[in-house]
Amino acid sequence: MIIKVCGMAEPDNISGLLGIAEVNWMGMIFYPPSGRYVPKFGQDAAGYKRVSLPKVGVFVNESTEEILRVVKDYGLSLVQLHGDEAPSQLQALRERTKVKVIKVFRVGADWNWKSLEAYKDLVDYFLFDTDGPSYGGTGHQFNWEILESYPYETPFLLSGGIAPKDVENLLACYKAYPAMVGIDINSKFEISKGVKDLEKIKTFTAAISDKAATAKKKKTNDKD
């Protein structure tokens, strides 16, 4: 299971995250209104670029040129688009950079899987978050059972209000939904915006990783 810790920004806190073996990706937010906006924390881009963990840059309705600049300056491995980006922009990114692309969709009461149709061949992953009044996370969960009807083969990550207490429910989803490949955690593991409780993350990731590995073997066998 891919474990992404999003909203990382403070350099010393990032250094501590690197010691948690089960964390696969580190998310960094490049959306100026966010309290986790990376440039607000004063570290130059070169300092973040040296971080060895694969970095995911989160953008909201940003221009393609600016995304490409940040990819280069910060050494990003993936780009996560959290706004209303058109399929044409994803196509342009795929043509102009080798980084992988994640497209976020916010799931609400009137959710329709057809929203993904134009994007499914342009992304490496979808990420499903909870719908809310703004582009940022809400800290709340949507009804994960809706994922039972996911109609595509494109792999996806689950996000939205994931907390330390959710280990068993997340494992149940991971076992039940073939295309689910990972999770994205953020606000429920924070001390303050952009600063994570590393002990809480360490405990959570240790609890979920071993069981997820067993579940992955079962998923692979079921496909065969």
Question: What is the pLDDT at residue 155?
Answer: 98
Is the model's pLDDT at 34 over the cut of 90?
yes
Q: Structural domain tally of the chain?
A: 1
- CATH code of residue 128: 3.20.20.70
Task: Confirm if 63 and 34 have CB atoms less than 8 A apart.
Answer: no
Longest Cα separation, the chain = 50
Pairing of strands 78-81, 195-196: unpaired
Rounded-to-integer distance, Cα 78 and Cα 86, Å = 18
Q: Quick one: how far is CA 124 from the chain centroid?
A: 12
Tokens of 28: 């960094």
For residue 131, CA distances in Å to 18, 74, 90, 105, 118 come to 30, 29, 21, 8, 20
Is the model's pLDDT at 67 over the cut of 70?
yes
Per residue in 86-145, pLDDT tens? 999 999 999 999 999 999 999 988 899 999 999 999 999 999 999 876 666 667 899 999
Per residue in 131-180, pLDDT tens? 876 666 667 899 999 999 999 999 999 999 999 999 999 999 999 999 99
Question: What is the pLDDT at residue 134?
Answer: 66
Instruction: Supply the pTM of this predicted model.
Output: 0.93
C-alpha angle 185/151/77, rounded to 5°? 40
Q: Rounded mean pLDDT of 34-57?
A: 96
Is the model's pLDDT at 56 over the cut of 80?
yes
HSE toward the beta carbon, residue 222, CA cutoff 13 A: 11
Rounded-to-integer distance, Cα 164 and Cα 34, Å = 23
Domain carrying residue 57:
2-223
